[in-house]
Amino acid sequence: MFNQGWLSGQVPVLPGAQAACCLAGMLLLVLACCCPMLVSASDSGVFQLEDADTYRTGGGDFLSAQFDIKLSSGAEEAVRNGVPLVFDFQVQVVKTNTWLWDTVDIEIIQHRQIQYHALSESYLVKDLSNDTQGNYRRLEDALRMAGKIQGLLLTEQTLDPELKYEIRVRGSLDIESLPTPVRLMAYVSSAWDMETKWYSWPLVR
């Protein structure tokens, strides 16, 4: 039988899980109509470590690194339409053991946000970890700066010289920080799956 609620233009009340699925479907449909590139884009972006170096000066261990970031067409269209993107950079100082599990002694997470401002026709890159920012005319330059880690203090502690340590770093696009309609699309599209592998090397002191 036909549902009289639908025929009369009234939306029937659904249980919680069904209502959530229905809402998600409706949002995805709206997104597909308004921003078809976000839905149809199948090309993946590039997110990888280009260069990194650790050094010791003034009693502290520091890290400098450069990530290469290129957005998929869907992510690029989103940022050009004002959607802010947040990239997370995870850094670990790990104590390595021959016979036991490796242990993470220090972990630092850096957050970088990039957002386009139509009024100034520029991209604003914010370091959400220390509240600094810069403006860039070209998206490529903004992504370059977003992927740059310069002189990050890892530790001022005296690490045990008898033990072995290594540095591990990786980067990822923070899907959870996206606006709800875009986030739903990111969940189902591999083009939004931007996460590097773990990169690691010995910490030389």
Percent pLDDT > 90 in the chain is: 55
DSSP 118: T
Query: Is pLDDT above 50 for 33?
Result: no
What pLDDT is stored for residue 32 in this prediction? Answer: 46
Chain mean position to CA 2: 46
What pLDDT is stored for residue 144 in this prediction? Answer: 97
Report whether 97 contacts 112 (CB < 8 A).
no
Mapped onto helix, strand or coil, the DSSP state of residue 178 is coil
**pTM for the whole structure:** 0.77
Q: What is the pLDDT of residues 61-94, one digit of tens each?
A: 999 999 999 998 889 999 999 999 999 999 999 9
Which residue, 159, 194, 172, 173, is CA-closest to 54? 159
Chain mean position to CA 157: 29
Structure token pair of residue 176: 């959870």
Report whether 79 contacts 142 (CB < 8 A).
no
Which residue, 165, 166, 169, is CA-closest to 152? 169
Count of residues in the chain: 205
d(CA 168, CA 63) in angstroms, rounded, equals 11
Percent pLDDT > 70 in the chain is: 79
CA-CA distances (angstroms) from residue 17 to 13, 90, 132?
Answer: 11, 34, 41
Residues with Cβ < 8 Å from 83, sequence gap 6 or more? Answer: 115, 178, 179, 182
Q: What is the mean pLDDT of residues 96-104?
A: 87
Q: What is the residue type of 197?
A: K
Query: Is pLDDT above 80 for 166?
Result: yes
What pLDDT is stored for residue 183 in this prediction? Answer: 83
Q: For the chain, give every domain's residue range.
A: 13-202
